[in-house]
Amino acid sequence: MQTLQKLEIATSFFWLEVFLDAVIIASFTVILVRYLVKTDRLQIRQDLNVESMLLRTGLIAMGVESMLMLTFPLISLSPSTLTTMVSDALFYSLITTLLIHYLLLKPTNPVLLNKPSLIDRILALRGFLLFLYLASLSLFLLLLLNVYQQQQLNYTTQAVAAEQPQLARIRNSLNDQISKAALDTLILARQENLQALFNGDSAAHSRLAKDYLSLASVKPVYEQIRFIDKRGIEQIRVDQGSLEPVVIGAENLQDKHNRYYFTDSFKLSSGQVYISPMDLNIEKGHIELPFKPIVRTASPVFDQQGNKRGVIIINLNASALFTQLKGDAQNTAGELMLLNENGYWMFGRERDAAWAFMFPEYKDRTIEKYYPGIWQKIAGNDQGAFLSPYGYFIFDTVAAGRTSAASPELKKQAAEMHWPEWKLISLASPQNLSIPYSNILPHLIMFFFLTVIVTGTGTVMYFRIQQKNLIAQQQIEHLAHHDMLTGLNNRNIFIQMLELQLAQSRRSKEPLALLYMDLDNFKPINDQHGHEAGDYVLKQFAARLKQILRESDTLARLGGDEFAAILPSYGNKRQLEIIARRIIDATEKPVSYRDQQLQIGISIGIAIHFQGLPLESLLHEADQAMYEAKRAQKNSYCFAAEPQEQQLA
């Protein structure tokens, strides 16, 4: 199995792997069974030859292994795992051994059975065809299910692969907007009006405010544009108003010296840009309502002497980014989420976990709480996809301010400037990923039921043909062993049955009686009334005999008007006399034929098999006794003489 796995043919032709595995296993099984039969360790059934037995062994082995190989993938077991291989070996050995033992091998204690009747043979044929039909359908159904599962898996894999470029497009779009804000921050940090303000130009303050207003008007996503001096006090601030950007008066300017974005950005060197983590805007110590997600880009400002004079900060309103994310979510197969570097939701799970890090009482609501063990797989990689108990996690890294998340140099630079990294995640269930492919399932179901109908019809037709053949064969066998006129056993089968009964009598040491009967006055009926009348009389006589004798007795027409009956375990001589008298009484009753009463008689010879009497002489003794009865008095019976040694005893 592992060798076949290394061939890597299951990806597109998994059924070929199943077939090759089943053929190899079946070949080894046939070789082993042939060796055991050749060394007399196994005895095959008497009705099978070695070649037929080996062929059936191979078919059984191949069918069992194919069923197992097609079943394991349906219960999510990989054929390459050790557990699966051990399970396959155990189930294969058990099922194959039982089937070969009960279907092909000779039983340890053979039991002599009577030849099956026509009904038994038809029932056996029906049972075999039903078993073969259901087994074939099961194998076909397993094959279809595996085809569907394999194709569904391939489609899901393709859908997961297609999700990655979609996330990359969203990542690039987010990065592009943040990068533009970072570039604008650098431009503002190098303005001549800002240097003029440092040099004491009183009008520079007004010009800077107008520049910030113009920029805010052109880019409404810039929630705030500020210049904060080195003490952390806002000197110039433009906010997006309800209708247009506005310059905040001096009385409303705030002290931001203790805010993380000011302290972190103030440490940077000239030309460096700080990009803050995304959080909710806070005004006067409180979270602004409704929630306003903000990303801040900042850069330190230096005067011409190289002294650090403050920072330029642009508040990028991420609400527009989230609006874009909501639109992009319509094009993704899974649930789109954006998480910060600590595993907190910023986009997604708005009802219970979004922005939980902004509230002390909800600090535990990270992705690890809702999806245990997932964050460790995502945090350490820039991008990837994996299947979990919760579905497929497809993720990418939004490295703020840079277009490539994989470059080591950019990573180092981002770490120095405290640039954040966010995880863009799409959580998709396998069912959602394979929804387009699920349309093929009704077609497979229809194909299966059509196959059931066609093969079922063919099986029924084949059964009927074989049933007619069995009936015809039974009729041929019946004609070969029975009298065509009366339906009784003919002479040939009667002789064989007599030999079997004599052998059984010798083993059981029980007596056996033979009645030899010949009709009296039968020839005149043929001469006077025709052969049709004679045939009718013979059939009526045979019917009367059947009513008198037991089912265990063997009755036959030996030819002409001669009949014979084998009576095993008859009881005693008195019982034989009673039976003979009943036959005579039944024969004396006239036979009505075309308003005429036909009268016949019968002569009966009775021979009893005793121990020591030669088997060949029983029929002869009964025949002689019948002639004695016919000579002495017609319509009577006579016993054959007992052996001399019996008489002396």
CATH classification at residue 332: 3.30.450.20
* Residues 368, 373, 374, 376, CA torsion sign: positive
Q: Is residue 468 part of a domain?
A: no
Distances (CA, A) of 616 to 151, 403, 497, 622: 76, 110, 13, 11
- Least confident piece of the model among 27-36, 135-144, 565-574: 135-144
CA atoms within 13 A on the CB side of 360: 0
> So what's the pLDDT on residue 481?
81
Q: Which long-range contacts (CB under 8 A, 24 or more apart) does 639-644 make?
A: 639/573, 639/576, 639/606, 639/607, 639/608, 640/605, 640/606, 640/607, 640/608, 642/608, 642/610, 643/610, 643/612, 643/613
Among the listed residues 522, 513, 519, the one whose alpha carbon sits nearest the alpha carbon of residue 549: 513
170 phi and psi angles, rounded to 5 deg: -65, -40
> So what's the pLDDT on residue 372?
94
Residues 49 and 167 in one domain: no
Residues 625 and 505 in one domain: yes
Percent of the chain with pLDDT over 90: 39
Q: Is residue 122 part of a domain?
A: no
Residues 103 and 195 in one domain: no
What lies within 8 Å, CB to CB, of 545 at 6+ separation is 555, 563, 565, 583, 586
Model pLDDT for residues 478-502, shown as the tens digit of each residue: 777 888 899 899 988 898 888 888 8
Residues 204 and 348 in one domain: yes
Mean pLDDT, rounded, of the chain: 84
Domain count within the chain = 3
Last residue of a domain, one of 433, 454, 471: 433
Query: Quick count: other Cβ atoms within 10 Å of Cβ 436?
Result: 10
Residues 382 and 486 in one domain: no
Model confidence at 72: pLDDT above 80: no
Residue type, 108: T
Q: Is residue 126 part of a domain?
A: no
Q: Is residue 183 part of a domain?
A: yes
Residues assigned a catalytic role: 561
Mean pLDDT of all residues in 281-304 = 89
Q: What SS3 class is residue 293?
A: strand
> So what's the pLDDT on residue 438?
65
Q: How confident is the model at residue 115 (pLDDT cuts 50, 70, 90)?
A: low
Residues 506 and 426 in one domain: no
pTM: 0.56
Contact 368, 375 (CB under 8 A): yes
Return the HEC string of 578-647.
HHHHHHHHHHHCCEEECCEEECCEEEEEEEEECCCCCCCHHHHHHHHHHHHHHHHCCCEEEECCCCHHHH
> So what's the pLDDT on residue 10?
45
Model confidence at 190: pLDDT above 50: yes
Model pLDDT for residues 235-269, shown as the tens digit of each residue: 999 999 888 999 999 999 999 999 989 999 999 99
Last residue of a domain, one of 72, 92, 113: 113
Q: Is residue 130 part of a domain?
A: no
Q: How confident is the model at residue 7 (pLDDT cuts 50, 70, 90)?
A: very low
Model confidence at 405: pLDDT above 50: no
Residues 487 and 364 in one domain: no
Mean pLDDT of all residues in 567-582 = 89
Q: How far is 175 from 410, CA to CA, in rounded Å? A: 14
Q: Is residue 605 part of a domain?
A: yes
> So what's the pLDDT on residue 166?
87
Q: Is residue 129 part of a domain?
A: no
Query: Quick count: other Cβ atoms within 10 Å of Cβ 50?
Result: 12
Percent of the chain with pLDDT over 70: 89
Residues 499 and 632 in one domain: yes
- Least confident piece of the model among 307-321, 409-423, 482-496, 503-517: 409-423
> So what's the pLDDT on residue 345?
94
Here the CATH number for the domain that contains residue 542 is 3.30.70.270
Residues 56 and 197 in one domain: no
Alpha-carbon dihedral angle through residues 240, 245, 251, 254, given to the nearest 10 degrees: 40
Q: Is residue 439 part of a domain?
A: no
* Residues 45, 50, 56, 58, CA torsion sign: positive
Instruction: Provide the residue range defining the domain that includes 596.
Output: 482-648
Residues 70 and 178 in one domain: no
Residues 197 and 321 in one domain: yes
Q: How far is 647 from 117, CA to CA, in rounded Å? A: 43
Q: How far is 184 from 166, CA to CA, in rounded Å? A: 28
Residues 102 and 169 in one domain: no
Q: How confident is the model at residue 615 (pLDDT cuts 50, 70, 90)?
A: low
